[in-house]
């Protein structure tokens, strides 16, 4: 049997990793400004993360969610404390899509409605409800189209207002910063209006912080730049630094009851140890402050290149719009310059998603490689619309 081929693969076989760097089987070193798709938050193979996981493995890796698990309580308390949501509740799952599924399900349980509002270019995962609220018909099968959903233009408050006024919308889901869609920031005023309109019309506001959360934007959550408090917040990616863990943070206005949600693997002892290790490092090494500074250096550096059309982002979530397709440029960055970056659904936009722990000298290495790749890149200049 062979793996089901769902991605075009780069011919690179990674053998080991440390901090912001990974090494292939020929011992070639690569700078990871992709973070394995915004997953690596505290740096690869962080010694505290490795030690905590090894120690937990020696004790107990898994037992059913039907018994006490103090690690789960500790993780919920720590996420609550560091994110500024100590009064919220945490439901732990294994991935981002699962977090979105559970958030939408919970919203529907809460208000009995089933219609969802989402946004153009948005991405929320590949499972049933998550893929239906994603703006990409190519990745949704007919079995996924089981409830009414409306995809609205980004930052279009009037369109949202018209829909919410019908008072039949279960949830409105929006990314803290659109990631796969090419790094687009919602206007803070737009987010604030969404929150008040949702509250007024009985719709739950779901902030998908799977990519933009966990310190990546320089704040714990990107939506905190707007000062709002959503009803449900989905988390994953950076939460486990590569260990599969996700979650839904749930406002106190949504009450738990037995049987509402459930999972076999969500919040195992090992997963909680990974989640705690990540938060302990974020706090001890002040990684949010670090990525805010490094992100500014990165964005300023990128804006110095005349060819760059636009640089968008916050902290370590950066979109670089080029005057040509980013596809070959990204390939050349990896193959010729040993630098990983990410693509996006906007063909000309490259995503830069480094670990939150990157150092100033690594920013300099990145900018030098980017500049050299740019000055030697041969591509017809196309429209960047
Ligand atoms: C904003 C957002 N939501 C949800 C997901 C889905 O997460 P997962 O791939 O862990 O299911 C992603 C993944 O890229 C994402 O960026």
Residue 383, pLDDT > 90, answer no
Q: Report the Cα 3 to chain-centroid distance in Å.
A: 25
Q: Report the Cα 63 to chain-centroid distance in Å.
A: 28
CA of 95 to the centre of ligand 1 (A): 8
Closest atom of ligand 1 to CA, residue 236 = 10
Query: How many domains does one find in the chain?
Result: 2
Which of 284, 301, 321 is where one domain is finished? Answer: 284
Question: Positive or negative, the Cα torsion across 124, 310, 356, 15?
Answer: positive
In a domain, 8, yes or no: no
In a domain, 380, yes or no: no
Tell how strand 169-175 and strand 232-235 pair up.
Answer: unpaired
Q: Report the Cα 53 to chain-centroid distance in Å.
A: 23
What is the pLDDT averaged over residues 110-120? 98
In a domain, 1, yes or no: no
In a domain, 19, yes or no: yes
Q: Encode 241-267: b = buried (16+ Cβ within 10 Å), e = exposed.
A: bbbbbbbbbbbeebeeeeeebeeebbb
The answer to whether 159 touches 125, Cβ cutoff 8 Å, is: no
In a domain, 108, yes or no: yes
The answer to whether 379 touches 324, Cβ cutoff 8 Å, is: yes
Tell how strand 21-24 and strand 29-32 pair up.
Answer: antiparallel
CA of 211 to the centre of ligand 1 (A): 7
CA of 234 to the centre of ligand 1 (A): 10
What does the pLDDT read at residue 13?
A: 97
Query: Which of 41, 95, 119, 123 maximizes ligand 1 atoms within 8 Å of its Cβ, making it the mutation to test the pocket?
Result: 123
In a domain, 266, yes or no: yes
In a domain, 381, yes or no: no
CA distance 109 to 253: 13
What is the pLDDT averaged over residues 234-245? 98
What is the pLDDT averaged over residues 156-173? 98
- Express as a percent the part of the chain with pLDDT over 70: 98
Q: Name the pTM for this structure.
A: 0.97
Shared-domain flag, residues 179 and 316 = no
Tens digits of residue pLDDT in 20-30: 999 999 999 99
Query: Which of 210, 245, 345 maximizes ligand 1 atoms within 8 Å of its Cβ, making it the mutation to test the pocket?
Result: 210
Output the residue whose Cα is nearest ligand 1's atom 10.
Answer: 96
What is the pLDDT averaged over residues 238-261? 97
Residue 380, pLDDT > 70, answer no
Shared-domain flag, residues 178 and 307 = no
Query: Which of 98, 101, 124 maximizes ligand 1 atoms within 8 Å of its Cβ, making it the mutation to test the pocket?
Result: 124
Closest atom of ligand 1 to CA, residue 175 = 1
What does the pLDDT read at residue 83?
A: 98
The CATH number of whichever domain residue 107 belongs to comes to 3.40.640.10
Which residue segment(s) compose the domain that 321 sits in? 14-45+286-375
What does the pLDDT read at residue 382?
A: 56
Question: Positive or negative, the Cα torsion across 23, 25, 27, 30?
Answer: negative
Residue 276, pLDDT > 90, answer yes
What does the pLDDT read at residue 331?
A: 97
Shared-domain flag, residues 139 and 123 = yes
**Residue closest to 290 by CA, chosen among 316, 317, 268, 271:** 316
In a domain, 263, yes or no: yes
β-strand partners of 24:
14
What is the pLDDT averaged over residues 266-294? 98
> For all residues of the chain together, what is the average pLDDT?
97
CA distance 340 to 28: 13
CA of 349 to the centre of ligand 1 (A): 18
Residue 359, pLDDT > 80, answer yes
What does the pLDDT read at residue 381?
A: 58
Closest atom of ligand 1 to CA, residue 100 = 4
What does the pLDDT read at residue 379?
A: 76
Output the residue whose Cα is nearest ligand 1's atom 13.
Answer: 125
Q: Per-residue DSSP letters for 72-136?
A: HHHHHHHHHHHHT-TTSEEEEESSHHHHHHHHHHHHHHHHS--EEEEETT----SSHHHHHTSS-
Closest atom of ligand 1 to CA, residue 246 = 10
CA distance 249 to 238: 15
Which of 284, 312, 342 is where one domain is finished? Answer: 284
Residue 73, pLDDT > 60, answer yes
Shared-domain flag, residues 86 and 161 = yes
CA of 97 to the centre of ligand 1 (A): 6
The answer to whether 163 touches 150, Cβ cutoff 8 Å, is: yes
Which of 284, 299, 324 is where one domain is finished? Answer: 284
What is the pLDDT averaged over residues 134-140? 94
The answer to whether 150 touches 206, Cβ cutoff 8 Å, is: no
Residue 385, pLDDT > 60, answer no
Shared-domain flag, residues 212 and 265 = yes
Tens digits of residue pLDDT in 83-112: 999 999 999 999 999 999 999 999 999 999
Residues with a CB atom less than 6 Å from ligand 1: 95-97, 100, 123-125, 175, 179-180, 208, 210-211, 236
Query: Which of 211, 216, 317 maximizes ligand 1 atoms within 8 Å of its Cβ, making it the mutation to test the pocket?
Result: 211
Shared-domain flag, residues 61 and 41 = no
Shared-domain flag, residues 169 and 305 = no
Shared-domain flag, residues 124 and 270 = yes
- Express as a percent the part of the chain with pLDDT over 90: 97
Q: Do you know the residue count of the chain?
A: 385
CA of 135 to the centre of ligand 1 (A): 13
Shared-domain flag, residues 302 and 369 = yes
Shared-domain flag, residues 76 and 218 = yes
Question: Of 129-133, 235-239, 324-328, 381-385, where does mean pLDDT reach its minimum?
Answer: 381-385
Shared-domain flag, residues 39 and 61 = no
Residue showing tokens 């409306």: 150
Output the residue whose Cα is nearest ligand 1's atom 7.
Answer: 96
Output the residue whose Cα is nearest ligand 1's atom 8.
Answer: 96
Collapsing DSSP to helix, strand or coil, 149 comes out as strand
CA of 379 to the centre of ligand 1 (A): 31
The CATH number of whichever domain residue 22 belongs to comes to 3.90.1150.10
Q: What secondary structure, in 3-state letters, does 307-342 show? A: CCCEEEEECCEEEEECCCCHHHHHHHHHHCCCEECE
Shared-domain flag, residues 271 and 348 = no
């Amino acid at each position: 049997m062979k793996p089901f081929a769902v991605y075009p693969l780069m011919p690179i076989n990674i053998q080991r990793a440390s901090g912001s760097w990974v090494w292939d089987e020929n011992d070639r070193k690569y700078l990871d400004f992709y973070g394995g798709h915004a997953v690596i938050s505290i740096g690869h193979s962080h010694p505290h993360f490795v030690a905590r996981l090894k120690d937990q493995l020696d004790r107990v890796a898994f037992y059913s969610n039907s018994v006490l698990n103090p690690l789960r309580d500790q993780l919920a308390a720590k996420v609550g404390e560091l994110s500024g949501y100590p009064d919220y509740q945490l439901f732990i799952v294994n991935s981002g899509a699962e977090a979105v599924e559970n958030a939408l399900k919970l919203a529907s349980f809460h208000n009995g409605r089933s219609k969802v509002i989402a946004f153009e270019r948005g991405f929320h995962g590949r499972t049933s409800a998550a893929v239906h609220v994603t703006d990409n018909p190519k990745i949704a099968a007919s079995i996924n189209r089981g409830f009414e959903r409306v995809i609205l233009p980004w930052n279009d408050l009037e369109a949202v207002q018209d829909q919410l006024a019908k008072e039949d919308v279960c949830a409105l889901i929006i990314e803290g910063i659109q990631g796969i869609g090419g790094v687009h920031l919602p206007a803070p005023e737009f987010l604030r209006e969404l929150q008040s309109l949702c509250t007024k019309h009985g719709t739950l506001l779901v902030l998908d912080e799977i990519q933009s959360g966990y310190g990546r934007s320089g704040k714990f959550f990107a939506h905190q730049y707007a000062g709002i408090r959503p009803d449900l917040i989905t988390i994953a990616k950076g939460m486990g630094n590569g260990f599969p863990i996700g979650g839904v943070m749930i406002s106190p206005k949504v009450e738990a009851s037995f049987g509402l949600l459930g999972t076999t693997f969500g919040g195992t002892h090992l997963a909680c140890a990974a989640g705690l290790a990540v938060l302990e490092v974020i706090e001890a090494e002040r990684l949010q402050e670090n990525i805010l500074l490094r992100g500014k250096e990165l964005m300023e550096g990128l804006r110095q290149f005349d060819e760059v059309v636009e640089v968008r982002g916050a902290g370590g979530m950066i979109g670089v719009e080029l005057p040509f397709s980013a596809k070959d440029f990204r390939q050349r960055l990896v193959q010729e310059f040993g630098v990983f970056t990410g693509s996006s659904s906007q063909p000309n936009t490259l995503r830069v998603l480094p670990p939150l722990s990157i150092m100033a000298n690594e920013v300099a290495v990145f900018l030098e490689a980017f500049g050299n790749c740019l000055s030697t890149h041969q591509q017809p200049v196309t429209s960047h619309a």
